Amino acid sequence: MFAVLAAAFVTLGQWQARRAEEKTALTLQFEQAPSLPGLPPGPAAPRFSRVRLDGVFDARRHILADNQVLNGRSGVHVLSPFSTSAGATILVNRGWLPMAADRRSLPAIATPAGTIEIEGHLDRIPDPARKLGADDVLAADRWPQLMTYPDLDAIAVALAEELHAQVLMLDADSPGGFEGRDWQPVRVSADRHRAYALQWRALALLALALWLLLGVRRARLVNP
């Protein structure tokens, strides 16, 4: 039994070590991301690329990404279409707003009017590992709308617009944003994964030590 546990703990330790490597690579990619003069055509921009855009926010048609927690409070991320001066439209994550406790009313979404300049980095829309329940259905004539699992294709259909293949994560000092814009490439740091890996390996060593100790005791009982 202890040998089986030791093998399981080693496997878990290796998995956490691989996760640490993945998080380290993502953090390095985030820190070394290039700056682009504008939105590239198609989905070719490297993830986390930084861009500065001139254009206009859609002041009415907002997607509210549900189940977003900030400092223990439940709320939404506001995703607003932004039409650039170059003729493209991109969804902008403007940050976090609180939701009412009864969830019967949506938050007011103050939006700058006219042409403004915004900055941020490009990222893919989150892809949930597991969906619980049916896909969200958006209406073309009811805004803003809650969405549990934001999907660019579904949003583009509801907006009747072609959207850029990435989302702009609005910088903390850019206009038109809300709380929680300290964007990070990972939620769990590589150091934490390394700590978890160390813990699993320590448990593996403990299980092996117990297995050996029990083996020695059995041998003494058989051969006193």
- Looking only at the bridges linking them, the beta strands covering 35-36 and 50-57 are parallel
**Cβ burial, residue 188 (10 Å; 0-12/13-18/19+):** exposed
Phi and psi, residue 220, nearest 5°: -70, -35
R_g of the chain, CA atoms, integer Å? 24
Mean pLDDT of the chain: 85
**pTM for the full model?**
0.82
Which DSSP helix (H) or strand (E) runs through 7?
A: helix 2-31
Q: Are strands 63-70 and 167-170 parallel, antiparallel or unpaired?
A: unpaired
Residue 183 has pLDDT above 70, yes or no: yes
Mean pLDDT of 87-110: 90
- DSSP codes, 129-152: S---SSPP---TT--SEEESS--H
Contacts of 123 (CB under 8 A, 6+ apart): 47, 48, 166, 167, 169, 183
Q: Residue 115's pLDDT is what?
A: 95
Higher pLDDT, 211 or 71: 71
Phi, psi of 163 (to 5 degrees): -105, 150
Query: What pLDDT band is residue 134 in, cutting at 50, 70 and 90?
Result: low
Contacts for 126-130: CB closer than 8 Å, 24+ residues apart: 126/150
Average of per-residue pLDDT across 137-141: 85
pLDDT at 156 over 70: yes
Q: How many CB atoms lie within 10 A of CB 117?
A: 11
Mean pLDDT for 53-73 is: 93
Range in 54-68, 100-114, 171-185 the model is least confident about: 100-114
Euclidean distance between CA atoms 83 and 72, whole angstroms: 33
